[in-house]
Amino acid sequence: MHASALVTTLTAAIASVATFGTSLAQGAVTYRSKTCGQAASGSITLATPAGTASGDVMVASVAYAGVSGSTSAPSGWTQVPNLKASFGANQELITYYRVLSAAPAANYTFTGGSGADVASASLASFRGVDTTSPIDGTPAQTIVSSLATSGNFPNSTGVAAGSMRYSAIGIDDGSTTTMGSGLTTLCVEDNESGSDASIGTAYESTGVGTTATRGFTLDDNGHLGLQTFILAPMPCAQGGLNLTAPSTVSFGSHTLTGSNG
């Protein structure tokens, strides 16, 4: 092969990788740990789940009873969009999230609106969540106004591969929730102190990002608030290699030999 032909071949080869990019597979959200509790008052304090660290995303669901005024998100917490359910006579179910940019506090307190006299809560930590945009898709909420002992959680529209489904149920009765197939139970709090407000929470790794219908059963009937949302996985960094094809290639004093085969 003549030198000019080799230069042409090398130039074409370099040009073919002039824009070379790599996109690593997305990570996956994983469950770390939880804390559950109930209180015979409208305020509840939960210890931070074991092992929670900077970079984690915490999710808290709280069911209150006796609420007559508006409940505000605690400092540093953000209500998950659409997930504030008023159900029963004066019950409320709210789900919040918190992105940890530093080490967590030892505990967190959640207080209901004026009149709240009972609180049941679930606090869970997840790692591998997109800390910039933690929620994938549109959270979903359903209020069941007739007495029920079973049902299905609403489905969120999140579709990201490696995401995590989170569902919560609030009940205006002292009732224990049994989660259906596919869901892993986080907390079940049967709170019959004062006005009743029980809670159940669960999660499910959605694998490729789809959500199937998931159900639950109760050991007593009640009016319900049902919630589901999707935690989005942390996107991996995009890697790239950019090469510019030269117009000429210098071989110095080297001699190229070959044939015109």
- What DSSP line would sit under 138-163, residue for residue? EEEEEEEEEEEEEEEPPPP----TT-
How much is the pLDDT for 19?
35
SS3 at position 34: strand
The residues of the chain scoring below 50 in pLDDT are 3, 6-24, 238-243, 255-256, 261
CB 93 within 8 A of CB 172: no
Give the span between the Cα atoms of 25 and 66, in whole angstroms: 47
Q: Residue 139 corresponds to which amino acid? A: P
* C-alpha 92: how far from chain center: 21
User: What's the pTM?
Assistant: 0.81
pLDDT tens, residue by residue, 96-152: 999 999 999 999 999 999 999 999 999 999 999 999 999 999 999 999 999 999 999
Give pLDDT, residue 24: 45
DSSP string, 68-122: -SPPPPPTT-EEEEEEEEEETTTEEEEEEEEE-SSPPPSEEEEE-STT--EEEEE
What is the model's pLDDT at position 9?
44
- State whether the Cα torsion 65-67-114-98 is positive or negative: positive
Angle at 76 between CA 119 and CA 158, to 5 degrees: 80
Q: What's the pLDDT at 34?
A: 98
- List Cα–Cα distances, 55 to 68, 124, 143, 206, in angstroms: 36, 14, 33, 21
Within 8 A by CB and 6+ apart from 16, the residues are none
3-state secondary structure of 224: strand
DSSP 15: H
Would you report the helix, strand and coil content of the chain in percent, each value rounded to 5? 5, 50, 45
